Structure 1
Amino acid sequence: MRFTATTGTGGGAGARFDRDRFVEDCIWAHMETDPVAAVREVLARAVSRPGAVLAGLGKPKAAGLDVLLSSPTLTIFAASWTPQMNLLAHDHKMWALIGIYAGREDNILWREGDNGLEAYAANCLFESDVATLDANAIHSVTNPLQRFTGGIHIYGGDFFATERRQWDPETFQVEPSDGDVIRAMFARENERYAKVCGD
């Protein structure tokens, strides 16, 4: 399993992030000989200007997924985590790229051992950082901040139609996960956030 994170390399001021152009660039990059590296380059270039991405996608106001592309071979969405939101340990069954344009995302990396799921590494992603996860990666995610985190997530397959797994954080019992499970999780998180904020 490989999990690598690098910081975006500059970019300076420029035009507002164009979501349609970004998707088109990712589609073309995905046709390259090394699609992961090529798409990662497109993502890194985009989030190297986090302010432009924020202006183009809008400021996160709720936990959720803004889907830019959903296809059998490539899924792209902007994910928003509420303040102090936690995601259970889960797998993807496909390679994944994460580029942060607002806030921060803390990852714990897990693997299946003889005694069940065990943590073996951690990584913090800040604005402009990009991470690559291999198809067999298992990770849990936390937004440790008192503000929203926003990231562009790209997957090498149909994220919403693929049956995946997640693990209970206390018992480490494995449970099924898919698009419906993820949507329900975000709905519960928004309810929690509304209660905390007194809305």
Structure 2
Amino acid sequence: MNTSARSQTTGHQRLFDRDRFIEDCVSAHRSTGMEAVREVLAEAIRDHRAVLKTLGGPTKAGLDVMHTSPDFTIFAAHWTPQMNLLPHDHMMKALIGIYTGREDNILWRHGEEGIEAYEANCLFEGDIAALPSHAIHSVTNPLQRFTGGIHIYDGDFFATERHQWDPETLAEAPSDGEAIKAMFAAENERLFGRDSN
């Protein structure tokens, strides 16, 4: 039995080892890059129930940061019921693996008059997606319950200047880690009220 895998088997129950998963992702990234990291994520998310049991069910919008460095970021992102994220880019390669709920993506590209939508996909529990560094997407949790996904980036997600687009006018504006935190704060206020933490 391979006990160095992301999930370990104990009897009939598989366990997701958070620390080991982070170590394996960092090691894979250092050795051969995001393709190897994708394999690590795919193996872990294949048993999404084990990931959910270890990480716990989301209870508010936010990020559970697992690892951050100048060249690599891992976090669990939590979307509230029916939460929408406006179109945004990452300026780096990204991997997304859903361990609870669902994430609907609209993919955008630059056109003659700004950005235009050209494709959509749905990520269900156990699904993963890879986004290239030039990707622009908007995200919706269509469910009446929380969605949780592991997000992995080929760079420092929080220190990189990025872009976002107004969901109605599609006007472009700068975005960064602080802008993302503000989105989550607004979403929690919408769901729970001003006095919630």
Corresponding residue of 1:185: 183
CA distance in 2, matches of 1:127, 1:41: 17
Please give the alpha-carbon distance, in whole angstroms, between the structure 1 residues aligned to 2:124 and 2:44: 14
Shift of 1:37: 1.2
Q: Deviations over 1:9-46 (max 9, x none)?
A: xx99543211111110001110233x121000000111
Q: What does 1:10-89 correspond to in 2, within 5 Å?
A: 14-33=13-32, 35-89=33-87
Q: Which residue of 1 aligns with 2:3?
A: none
Q: Secondary structure at the match of 1:176?
A: strand
Q: Partner letter of residue 22 of structure 2?
A: V
CA deviations 1:58-111 (Å, max 9, x no partner) are 110000000000100100000000000000100000000000000000000000
CA–CA distance in 2 between the matches of 1:63 and 1:49? 23
Code of the residue aligned with 2:27 in structure 1: it is W
Letter in 2 for 1:122: A
Counterpart position of 1:90 = 88
Letter of the 1:137 counterpart: A
SS of structure 2 residue aligned to 1:55 = helix
**Matched residue type, 2:40:** V
**2-structure distance, mates of 1:29, 1:14:** 26
C-alpha distance in 2 between matches for 1:131 and 1:24: 21
Query: Which of the residues 163, 170, 173 maps onto 1:172?
Result: 170
Larger RCO of the pair (alpha carbons < 8 Å, separation 6+)? 1
Q: Which amino acid aligns with 1:183?
A: K
Give the aligned partner of residue 142 of structure 2: 144
User: CA separation in 2, counterparts of 1:106 and 1:130?
Assistant: 12
Distance in 1, Cα, partners of 2:23 & 2:88: 29
CA distance in 1, matches of 2:22, 2:148: 17
Instruction: Give aligned pairs, total.
Output: 186
Alignment of 1:93-112 (within 5 A): 93-112=91-110
Moved over 3 A (4+): 11-15
Gaps of 5+ in 1: 1-10
Query: 2:117 pairs with 110, 119, 123, which one?
Result: 119
- Whole-angstrom distance in 2 between the partners of 1:29 and 1:141: 27
- What is the percent sequence identity of the aligned residues? 67
RMSD in angstroms over aligned alpha carbons?
1.7
Question: 1:123-138 counterparts in 2 under 5 A?
Answer: 123-138=121-136
